[in-house]
């Protein structure tokens, strides 16, 4: 078992979306910590609910190349211990100037494990941006979406989002709305700390308010 090509494409798409927002510039210059933080940021975008059958961070052991105990430039696909061909090296030339985004599969060492993604701290995000502001992206990419067809809960949430945009007379996704992707991401993060219905109602209310609609 390895990493399917469609999953590798998800990695590249998610990484390029964050690159467009300015989060890759410090890593591009050869900063090892930025490379690791960028990889962890993308893994979180890909798997905002912490599903063990999706992408996660890749742990490292003492003596291995690492940053804070995690891989410098790689993420891990699924927590299946039997799948050793599940490491995705997503930064070509990490730690050196002119690093680029990629997605190649490597074998996982037995002691290197899948770790559930966590939110990066404000300090870590600022470190990636190096004090700058994220640039708007032309079209919010569906990073982590759509979820599998059987995930009717998330599909129902997406339907409520689409309905809100329809009620506001706005296209969805709106090519002029760079906040649409962030809205989905915030919803996914909230699902980690509160029941899904509560998270959905909270963020739909926020979205409708942002669109100038009644709750």
pLDDT at residue 1 in the model? 65
Look at residue 26 and tell me whether its pLDDT is greater than 80.
yes
DSSP string covering 31-99: -HHHHHHHHHHHHHHHTTT--TTSEEEEE--TTSS-BTTEEEEEEEE---TT--S-EEEEEETTTSTT-
**Better pLDDT: 153 or 41:** 41
pLDDT tens digits, 86-132:
999 999 999 899 999 999 999 999 999 999 999 888 889 889 987 44
pLDDT at residue 197 in the model: 80
pLDDT tens for each residue of 130-189: 744 444 434 444 444 433 333 556 667 777 887 888 888 877 665 555 555 566 667 766
Q: How far apart are CA 79 and CA 140, in angstroms?
A: 28
């Amino acid at each position: 078992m390895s990493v399917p090509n469609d999953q590798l494409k998800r990695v590249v798409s998610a990484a390029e979306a964050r690159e467009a927002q300015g989060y890759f510039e410090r890593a591009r210059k050869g900063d090892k910590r930025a490379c690791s933080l960028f990889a962890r940021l993308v893994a979180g975008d890909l798997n905002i609910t912490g599903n063990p059958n999706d992408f996660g961070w890749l742990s490292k052991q003492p003596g291995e190349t690492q940053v804070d105990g995690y891989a410098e430039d790689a993420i891990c696909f699924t927590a299946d211990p039997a799948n050793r061909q599940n490491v995705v090296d997503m930064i070509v030339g990490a730690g050196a100037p002119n690093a680029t985004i990629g997605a190649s599969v490597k074998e996982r060492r037995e002691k290197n494990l899948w770790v559930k993604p966590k939110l990066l701290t404000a300090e870590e995000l600022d470190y990636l941006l190096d004090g700058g502001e994220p640039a708007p992206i032309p079209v919010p990419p569906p990073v982590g979406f759509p979820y599998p067809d059987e995930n009717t809960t998330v599909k129902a949430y997406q339907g409520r989002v689409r309905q809100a945009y329809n009620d506001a007379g706005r296209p969805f996704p709106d090519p002029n709305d760079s906040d649409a992707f962030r809205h989905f991401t915030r919803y996914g993060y909230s699902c980690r700390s509160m029941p899904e219905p509560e998270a959905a109602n909270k963020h739909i209310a926020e979205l409708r308010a942002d669109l100038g609609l009644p709750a």
